Amino acid sequence: MTDWEALLSSKQNVGVVKQFAYGCMSGKDFYSTFSNTENGGVVRSLLRKNGVTYSKRLARKALTRRGI
């Protein structure tokens, strides 16, 4: 299960997730942005378990549910 609260904890992270969710960023760029950070493992497991396409759908869903 993805810890969306951790991924969406700052404005900078929200911007990155928005870019990924709406197609302005590839999966590789998304992974690279969070590598060597506290949330790197969360992003890595999200992409490995779900793939890029479904991960983008989940990111859009998480943003919508939080009203972002």
Q: What is the DSSP string of the chain?
A: ---HHHHTSSHHHHHHHHHHHTTSS-HHHHHHHHTTSTTHHHHHHHHHHHHHHHHHHHHHHHHHHTT-
The whole-number pLDDT of residue 32 equals: 96
Band of residue 1 on the pLDDT scale cut at 50, 70, 90? confident
Check pLDDT > 90 for residue 8.
yes
pLDDT at 14 over 90: yes
The model's pTM is: 0.91
Rounded CA-CA distance 63/61 in Å is 5
Cα gap 18→14, rounded to integer Å = 6
Give the model confidence (pLDDT) of 32-66 as tens digits. Answer: 999 999 999 999 999 999 999 999 999 999 999 99
DSSP-based three-state secondary structure for 8: coil
